[in-house]
């Protein structure tokens, strides 16, 4: 039971970090990333493959963060000349390509066999019975770090610039701001966070295979951002802890509701995510917490 709760809490932290990444890219920057799971999967695999080749876990994680950041920036540049509509399909297309590549390039990723034996950070210096607790703390330390980092970025001049390019790219351009560079940076930072989330995923399961990565993560992240309030990191944090906890916790219900099997329950859960997403867009477009704005009249 305790281990179930701990595992659920880790998954909540991971999904919330993904939600925060999306909040930076879409909430703050107006850039719809519909391929979150691809960057996440990329991060998980880079981390896992290096880790199982003997690279120290933290170094493997750092490498995953760098790779996903760089790749994210590169992908955002594909749609430089276009509006956000296209970025959604470009990121989705990229994610599908990542999934295909990892599924079929067995020489590198072992394909559908998956990558077993991923070593968690501090595994050597922590007694095995404490491993889950230490990892839980590790995941939450990352969540806190990510949250504080994003809050700092948002309140810095760069955050204002990001919002300005979201609200009116033409005006920002006219004011001499390089919209392209801003977008690439936003995507890179968001990608780095997805690298964090992916690495945590690899460490958490200690075995990864392509079937673990699906659009469920997309759904959770969009849910967290829309419920939390676009642009509000605090809102996303709260939404992550209520909604994703509820959704993940509902795996329980399989034992309670006998006439629904596990697959049906999973489908029902995702159905509710989709319908909930739409309902919030319609009825509570600002989400739980309003976006942070400078109090001065500068806005």
Partner 1 sequence: MGQLIFNGLVTGLLIALPALSLALVFSVLRFANYAIGSMLTVGAYLVYAFNAGLGWPLPLAALAGGAVGAGLALAIDRLVYEPLKGRGGVTLLVASIGVGIALENAVRFIAGSSTRGFAVEVARPLRLHGLRINQEQITTIATVLLALAVVWIVFRFTRLGRAMRAVADNADLAAVRGIPRRQVVCAVWVISSVLATLAGVLVGLDGNVDPQMGWNYILPVFTAAILGGIGNPMAAVAGAVVLGITEELATLVLAPHYRTMVAFAVMALLLLVRPTGLFAAQGTAK
For partner 1, the binding residues (CB under 8 A) are: 30, 32, 34, 78-86, 88-90, 92-94, 96-97, 100-101, 104, 215, 218-219, 222, 226, 263-264, 266-271, 273-278, 281-282, 285
Question: Rounded to an integer, what distance in angstroms lies between the CA atom of residue 177 and that of residue 199?
Answer: 34
Rg from Cα positions in the chain: 19
State the minimum distance, in angstroms, from the CB of residue 177 to partner 1: 20
Question: Rounded to an integer, what distance in angstroms lies between the CA atom of residue 274 and that of residue 268?
Answer: 10
State the minimum distance, in angstroms, from the CB of residue 242 to partner 1: 18
State the minimum distance, in angstroms, from the CB of residue 223 to partner 1: 9
Q: Of the two residues 6 and 276, which places its CB atom closer to partner 1 in the complex?
A: 276
State the minimum distance, in angstroms, from the CB of residue 103 to partner 1: 8
State the minimum distance, in angstroms, from the CB of residue 88 to partner 1: 6
Q: Of the two residues 62 and 266, which places its CB atom closer to partner 1 in the complex?
A: 266
Do the Cβ atoms of 138 and 121 come closer than 8 Å? yes
State the minimum distance, in angstroms, from the CB of residue 157 to partner 1: 25
State the minimum distance, in angstroms, from the CB of residue 59 to partner 1: 30
DSSP per-residue codes, 7-21 = HHHHHHHHHHHHHHH
Question: Rounded to an integer, what distance in angstroms lies between the CA atom of residue 45 and that of residue 48?
Answer: 5
Q: Of the two residues 110 and 151, which places its CB atom closer to partner 1 in the complex?
A: 110
Q: Of the two residues 70 and 126, which places its CB atom closer to partner 1 in the complex?
A: 70
Q: Of the two residues 61 and 98, which places its CB atom closer to partner 1 in the complex?
A: 98
- β-partners of residue 208 are 115
75-41-44-221 Cα dihedral, nearest 10 degrees: 90
Helical segments of the chain, H only:
2-22, 36-52, 57-78, 84-104, 106-109, 131-155, 157-167, 169-174, 179-205, 216-228, 233-239, 245-249, 253-256, 262-283
Q: Of the two residues 101 and 241, which places its CB atom closer to partner 1 in the complex?
A: 101
- As a whole number of Å, the end-to-end CA separation of the chain is 49
Q: Of the two residues 86 and 140, which places its CB atom closer to partner 1 in the complex?
A: 86
């Amino acid at each position: 039971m305790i281990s179930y709760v701990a595992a659920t809490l880790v998954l909540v932290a991971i999904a919330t970090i993904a939600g925060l990444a999306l909040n930076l890219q879409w909430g703050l920057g107006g850039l719809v990333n519909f391929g979150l799971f691809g960057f996440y999967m990329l991060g998980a695999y880079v981390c896992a493959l290096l880790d199982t080749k003997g690279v120290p876990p933290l170094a493997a994680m750092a490498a995953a963060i760098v790779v996903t950041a760089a790749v994210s920036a590169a992908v955002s540049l594909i749609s430089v000349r276009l509006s956000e509509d296209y970025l959604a399909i470009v990121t989705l297309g990229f994610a599908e390509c990542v999934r295909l590549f990892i599924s079929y390039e067995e020489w590198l990723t072992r394909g559908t066999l998956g990558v077993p034996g991923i070593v968690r950070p501090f595994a050597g210096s922590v007694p095995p019975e404490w491993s889950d607790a230490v990892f839980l703390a590790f995941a939450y330390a990352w969540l806190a770090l990510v949250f504080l980092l994003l809050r700092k970025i948002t309140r810095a001049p760069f955050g204002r610039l990001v919002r300005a390019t979201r609200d009116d790219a033409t005006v920002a351009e006219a004011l001499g701001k390089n919209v392209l560079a801003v977008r690439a940076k936003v995507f890179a930072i968001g990608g780095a966070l997805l690298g964090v989330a992916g690495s945590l995923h690899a460490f958490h399961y200690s075995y990864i295979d392509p079937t673990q990565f699906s659009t469920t993560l997309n759904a959770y992240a969009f849910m967290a951002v829309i419920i939390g309030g676009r642009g509000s990191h605090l809102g996303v944090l709260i939404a992550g802890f209520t909604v994703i906890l509820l959704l993940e916790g509902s795996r329980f219900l399989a034992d309670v509701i006998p006439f629904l099997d596990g697959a049906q329950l999973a489908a029902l859960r995702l159905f509710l995510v989709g319908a909930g997403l739409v309902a919030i867009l319609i009825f509570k477009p600002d989400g739980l917490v309003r976006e942070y704005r400078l109090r001065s009249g500068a806005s």
